[in-house]
Amino acid sequence: MNKEANKFMRKAIRISVSNVEKQKGGPFGAIVVKDGKVIARGSNQVTSSNDPTAHAEVVAIRKACKVLKTFQLTGCEIYTSCEPCPMCLGAIYWARPDKLYYANSKEDAAAIQFDDKFIYEEIAKPVEERKLFTKQILREKAMEAFEKWKTSPNKIEY
């Protein structure tokens, strides 16, 4: 691993440690880097903001997109103190950075009661077998938005 990647990972790890010390949320930190410069930082803010989506990676992605004035992070690298959960991994894929680096593993997180294994298992199940009641309704009505999107001259594809 190159020294620059290690330098950036140390920054993400420092954010995670500071977040615990300041009691802002879970022990997670992330940064977004473009052209060798940190353009955004994020820490887990779930409990301090009462937002279950305020994971470090999502916070960092949102900030980076504002800084870059774009909805994709092409040309960027994301460094996160822990292997991303399913939600964050999905957000990272949607953001389309060039690279992702992580420090702690999902098994390390599970050892301190941050266990996302059940989510991975639930996603793999057919909808009707999931623990969360899930039922598709009004598909035909909802298709109206999709039909309008298909023919919209103003759509921005992503």
Ramachandran category for residue 71: left, alpha or beta (phi over 0 → left; psi -120 to 50 → alpha): alpha
SS3 content of the chain, % helix, strand, coil (to 5): 45, 15, 35
Residue range 17-42: mean pLDDT, rounded: 97
Q: Is 121 noted as a catalytic residue in this protein?
A: no
From the candidates 57, 107, 129, 157, which is the catalytic residue?
A: 57
Split at pLDDT 50, 70, 90, the class of 53 is very high
User: What are the distances in angstroms from CA 135 to CA 116, 127, 129, 130, 131?
Assistant: 23, 8, 11, 11, 12
Lowest mean pLDDT among 22-31, 91-100, 112-121, 136-145: 112-121
Predicted confidence at residue 50, as pLDDT, reads 96
- What does pLDDT average to over the chain? 95
